[in-house]
Each structure stands twice: as structure tokens, then as C-alpha cells.
């Protein structure tokens, strides 16, 4: 039976994705968010040191991320993502100073790997062909057990791409998760991996339009509401306990729990969740990007992994950055700036900067963590789970989070 009223707990992308889908089907949606803002790990905020709005982390989606694009279509926000004409990835090797651009062709047959002007310098054809092994990876295998993690193609394209997609050192990463990325993007033709960036901030594209959509469809979002306990009885959730208030969950209500794994584990009895995480470090510098600088540049043999050019700001992303958490912020900023100056050909002294360290940015995409991800359904008939850490078949990404929310909505109110 389709419930009449649905409580969505957590206003990250997974919760918002569930909420907009449910609202679009005419259901009464109430979102409860612990903090005073929506967006969770994918949001913008005003940074007083830089004097501008920045994102908590540079985020990228790919044009083959169908769930993310369908969510943006529903909330009428796709136009906020850049629309590059092709799948083009400029790189620099800081050890040699070499620069190159990987330029994939749009179609399914990847003839770009035969063209020296488009492929990775020094990579051989057989290195590209060997990647097919990833698609036939054994269950529970690591990437290192499945493909050769050496050679120019690996060092100059595959490692940087997988490091950011998995937020885990690729050799130990789950081959199944890497295969899912490759299947939906790299193996599906260049039109499926054009890099899409929210140049004017994540919240303007992914969050604010969703909140408007929920309000326009009669839903509401309550902030400062941390769920403390789920009252459970007779196979159902019967109440939501927020500490200062308890909200009854009647026989015609249902709950989408879209909180991070540590919170979910403490709320749902005997729930198995991933418990190992990886950090992401972002460095932001207040400076106008030089004219003609690409929106995103991959970096090999540096501390920086990707450089993003935003209006009035250059930003660096470093994934699987746990080793950097103990370095001082000043040390990190100056080391990263010295690389940015080379990449962007700048002679300026280090401008105003900010370092943002997300210690638990995503769960570690290891085979043993992948095995702990729970399904959408729970043992309680009116309780479903959503979140990038649930069993989406993808690493912890925007696409995975949005897909998980859409799946939760589908379970409660099938079309
Ligand atoms: C720095 C960084 C960079 C990233 N880069 C990329 C990228 O380039 N591409 C990409 O695809 N993905 C990227 N990701 C991953 C992406 O941001 C996440 O996968 C996605 O945002 C997760 O959404 P979620 O809704 O599952 O979880 P969250 O965003 O964590 O949302 C959970 C929400 O629940 C709330 N909450 C917690 N406990 C309670 C409670 N008890 N009661 C009520 N509310 C509660 C939280 O406050 C939060 O708002 C990045 C992540 C980070 C941190």
C-alpha cells in the first residue's frame, strides 16, 4: 500500500532525491535535517577568509550519470552544470613538465585510443585493451588483483580517474566498483564521460532547486532536527524521537532514513554498514584563473590531483588524503600553491587561501567495505534506507546517492 505521509530523515543528496521523487508523485513529504542547512557532503557555504561562497569540496559528475541528470531535470536545474562539447581531460606531469589532453570520441567505438594526438603519451594499445579485464573482475577482487597497476596508461589516466571516483588508493580498491564506473562511463563512449561541473556552486544546482521543488509540491524541510531514536514495534517504525519531540509514525506513514552510515548504525538495530572511511582535502586560492585555463586539469606526480578553475578562485582536490591530515594547514597550503603556480603558469605570491579537510568524506571503496553495504529494504515494512553507502553498486558518489534516494522512493511508492 502506498503510504500517505513520508518522513525523510537527512537532507543530503540521497534524502533530497527521495523527497523530490515522492513529492512529484503527490505524496506529503516532511524532511528532517540535523544541521541548519541542506546538502550534507555536497553543499556551498560562505567562507569568511576567502570572502566568497565555496563548496565543501570540488565535485564532478559525468554526462553518463543518468540518475543525477534525471534528478536535475526534475528540479529544473540541469542548466547550472557546465556542458562541455566533448570528453576532454587536460593533464600535466609535474615530474617531467609534460602536458597532454586525453580527447575521447563520442561514440561507442573508442577510436581515440588509436590517435596519438588524443591518447595518453607513451601508452600502448595493449594497455587500453587490458582494461577489459576489469569488466570481468572476480567477486571480491581488488583492482590490483585484476589489472596491471603500472605503465603509462595506468599512471597517467586510470589511477587519477579511479583515485577520484573511488576516493581510495586504486590498487586496494574494489574491482567491482571500478568496473561499474568503467561500464557506465568509459566503456560507454565519450558522450558518457564529459566532465560536468557546477561552476556557480553546488548548492545553486543540486540543493536550492530541490528545496524549492519540495516546497512547491506542499512538502516541508525542518532544520535542527537530529533523529535520536526510531521507535520500533510489530515490524514497523511507530515514532521518530528527536529528543525534544516525538513524532508518531501512523499506519499510513513511512520513513526514508538517509543519514550517513555511522548515524544509521546507531538508529537501526543490527544494521551492518561500512565502517572504514577516506578523507578528501581541498585547497582553495582566491585568484582569478588565467585566461584560457581549462576548467579542470589532472595532475600526475604531484600532491595536487586535480585543479579546478572557478570564477575568482583556483581549487585543488586531493582524494584518499588520510596521510595529509596531520600536516599543518599552512604547510599544506604553501606546498599545494607551489604546484598550482606551475600548473597555471602563475608568478604571484600565494593569495588568500583555505584548506578544507573532510575526514570522513566517503566510505573506503574496498572489497570488504563493499560487502557490508545494506539493501534499501529493512526488516521494518515502513522503513527504507538511502545514502551513498547503501548497496547502489557504485562508489560513494553523487550518482550513487541520488540513485539510492530514487530507489527508496520507488520502494515506497512505485510508479
Ligand atoms: C570533499 C568531497 C568531495 C567529493 N567529490 C565528489 C565528486 O567529485 N563527485 C561525486 O560524485 N561525489 C563526490 N563526493 C561524494 C558526494 O558528496 C556524496 O556521495 C554525497 O553527497 C552523499 O550524499 P548522502 O545524502 O548519501 O549523504 P550526506 O551528504 O552525508 O547526507 C546525510 C545528511 O543526513 C544528516 N544527518 C545525519 N545524522 C542525522 C540525524 N540523526 N537526523 C537527521 N539528519 C541527520 C546530515 O547532516 C546530512 O545532511 C565528494 C564528497 C566530499 C566530502
| 99-104 β-sheet, strand order | 99-104, 87-93, 296-300, 306-310, 313-318, 277-285, 353-363
Give me ligand 1 centre to Cα 387, in Å. Answer: 8
Q: For ligand 1, is residue 303 a contact (CB within 6 Å)?
A: no
- Per-residue pLDDT reduced to its tens digit, 164-202: 999 999 999 999 999 999 999 889 999 999 999 999 999
Q: Which sign, positive or negative, has the C-alpha torsion 194, 200, 204, 207?
A: positive
Q: For ligand 1, is residue 406 a contact (CB within 6 Å)?
A: no
Please give the domain boundaries of the chain with CATH numbers for all domains.
5-45+202-275+366-412 (3.50.50.60), 105-193 (no CATH), 277-363 (3.90.660.10)
Distance separating alpha carbons of residues 251 and 398, to the nearest angstrom: 32
Q: Whose CA is nearest to atom 48 of ligand 1?
A: 40
Mean pLDDT for the chain overall: 96
The C-alpha cell 537501526 sits at 268
pTM score: 0.97
Per residue, the 3-state secondary structure of 229-278, as one string, reads EEEEECCEEEEEECCCCEEECCCCEEEEECCCHHHHHHHCCCCCCCCCEE
Distance separating alpha carbons of residues 333 and 102, to the nearest angstrom: 28
Give me ligand 1 centre to Cα 360, in Å. Answer: 10
Inter-axis angle of helices 66-74 and 208-216, nearest 10: 50
Residue 375 has pLDDT above 70, yes or no: yes
**Residues 215-240, mean pLDDT to the nearest whole number:** 97
Give me ligand 1 centre to Cα 345, in Å. Answer: 34
**Residues 225-251, mean pLDDT to the nearest whole number:** 96
Distance separating alpha carbons of residues 261 and 373, to the nearest angstrom: 9
Burial label for 286, CB within 10 Å (0-12, 13-18, 19+), is middle
- Per-residue pLDDT reduced to its tens digit, 46-83: 999 999 999 999 999 999 999 999 999 999 999 999 88
Evaluate whether 192 touches 63 at the Cβ level (below 8 Å).
Answer: yes
Q: Hey, what's the torsion of the CAs at 390, 393, 396, 399, to 10 degrees? A: -100
Residue 339 has pLDDT above 70, yes or no: yes
Q: Whose CA is nearest to atom 15 of ligand 1?
A: 397
Residue 1 has pLDDT above 90, yes or no: no
C-alpha cell at 272: 551492518
Q: For ligand 1, is residue 161 a contact (CB within 6 Å)?
A: no
- Which one has a higher pLDDT value, 355 or 3? 355
Q: For ligand 1, is residue 12 a contact (CB within 6 Å)?
A: yes
C-alpha cell at 235: 515490524
Q: Whose CA is nearest to atom 13 of ligand 1?
A: 397
Of the pLDDT bands very low, low, confident and very high (cuts 50, 70, 90), residue 36 is very high
Which atom of ligand 1 is nearest to 56's Cα?
Answer: 1
Give percent of the chain above pLDDT 90.
96
**Residues 225-240, mean pLDDT to the nearest whole number:** 96
Half-sphere exposure at residue 196, Cβ-oriented, CA atoms within 13 angstroms: 25
Give me ligand 1 centre to Cα 177, in Å. Answer: 18
Distance separating alpha carbons of residues 22 and 40, to the nearest angstrom: 20
Distance separating alpha carbons of residues 367 and 370, to the nearest angstrom: 5
Give me ligand 1 centre to Cα 39, in Å. Answer: 7
**Residues 111-119, mean pLDDT to the nearest whole number:** 93
Could you please report the per-residue DSSP string of 292-316?
A: T--SEEEEESSS--EEEEETTEEEE
Q: What is the pLDDT of residue 234?
A: 87
Give me ligand 1 centre to Cα 87, in Å. Answer: 26
Which atom of ligand 1 is nearest to 32's Cα?
Answer: 43
Give percent of the chain above pLDDT 70.
100
How far separated are the first and last CA of the chain, in Å rounded? 12
- Per-residue pLDDT reduced to its tens digit, 118-148: 999 999 999 999 999 999 999 999 999 999 9
Which atom of ligand 1 is nearest to 263's Cα?
Answer: 38
Neighbours of 101 (CB within 10 A): 14
SS3 (DSSP) at 108: coil
Residue 3 has pLDDT above 80, yes or no: no
SS3 (DSSP) at 381: coil
Q: For ligand 1, is residue 390 a contact (CB within 6 Å)?
A: no
Amino acid at each position: 500500500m502506498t503510504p500517505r505521509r513520508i518522513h525523510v530523515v537527512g537532507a543530503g543528496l540521497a534524502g533530497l532525491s527521495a523527497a523530490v521523487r515522492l513529492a512529484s508523485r503527490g505524496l506529503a513529504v516532511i524532511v528532517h535535517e540535523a544541521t541548519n542547512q541542506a546538502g550534507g557532503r555536497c553543499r556551498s557555504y560562505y567562507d569568511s577568509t576567502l570572502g566568497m561562497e565555496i563548496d565543501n569540496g570540488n565535485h564532478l559528475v559525468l554526462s553518463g550519470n543518468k540518475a543525477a541528470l534525471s534528478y536535475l531535470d526534475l528540479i529544473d536545474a540541469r542548466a547550472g552544470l557546465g556542458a562541455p562539447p566533448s570528453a576532454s581531460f587536460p593533464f600535466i606531469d609535474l615530474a617531467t613538465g609534460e602536458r597532454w589532453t586525453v580527447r575521447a570520441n563520442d561514440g561507442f567505438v573508442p577510436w581515440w585510443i588509436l590517435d596519438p594526438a588524443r591518447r595518453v603519451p607513451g601508452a600502448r594499445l595493449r594497455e587500453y585493451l587490458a582494461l577489459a579485464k576489469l569488466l570481468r573482475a572476480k567477486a571480491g577482487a581488488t583492482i590490483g588483483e585484476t589489472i596491471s597497476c603500472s605503465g603509462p596508461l595506468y599512471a597517467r589516466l586510470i589511477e587519477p580517474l579511479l583515485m577520484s571516483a573511488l576516493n581510495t588508493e586504486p590498487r586496494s580498491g574494489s574491482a567491482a566498483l571500478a568496473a561499474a564506473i568503467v561500464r557506465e562511463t568509459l566503456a560507454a563512449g565519450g558522450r558518457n564521460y564529459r566532465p560536468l561541473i557546477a561552476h556557480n556552486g553546488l548548492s545553486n544546482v543540486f540543493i536550492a532547486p530541490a528545496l524549492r521543488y519540495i516546497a512547491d509540491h506542499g512538502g516541508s524541510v525542518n532544520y535542527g532536527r537530529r533523529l535520536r531514536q526510531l521507535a520500533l514495534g510489530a515490524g514497523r517504525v511507530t515514532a521518530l524521537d528527536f529528543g525534544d519531540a516525538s513524532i508518531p509514525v501512523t499506519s499510513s506513514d513511512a520513513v526514508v532514513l538517509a543519514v550517513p552510515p555511522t548515524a544509521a548504525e546507531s538508529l537501526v538495530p543490527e544494521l551492518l554498514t561500512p565502517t572504514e572511511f577516506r578523507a578528501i582535502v581541498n585547497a582553495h586560492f582566491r585568484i582569478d584563473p588565467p585566461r584560457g585555463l581549462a576548467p579542470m586539469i589532472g595532475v600526475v606526480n604531484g600532491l595536487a590531483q586535480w585543479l579546478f578553475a572557478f570564477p575568482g578562485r583556483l581549487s585543488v582536490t586531493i582524494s584518499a588524503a588520510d596521510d595529509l591530515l596531520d600536516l599543518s594547514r599552512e604547510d599544506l597550503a604553501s606546498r599545494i600553491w607551489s604546484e598550482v603556480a606551475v600548473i597555471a603558469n602563475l608568478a604571484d605570491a600565494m593569495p588568500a587561501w583555505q584548506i578544507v579537510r573532510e575526514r570522513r568524506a566517503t566510505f573506503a571503496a574496498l572489497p570488504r567495505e563493499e560487502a557490508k553495504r545494506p539493501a534499501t529494504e529493512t526488516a521494518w515494512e515502513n522503513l527504507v534506507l538511502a545514502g551513498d553507502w547503501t548497496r547502489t553498486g557504485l562508489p560513494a558518489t553523487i550518482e550513487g546517492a541520488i540513485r539510492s534516494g530514487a530507489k527508496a522512493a520507488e520502494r515506497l511508492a512505485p510508479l
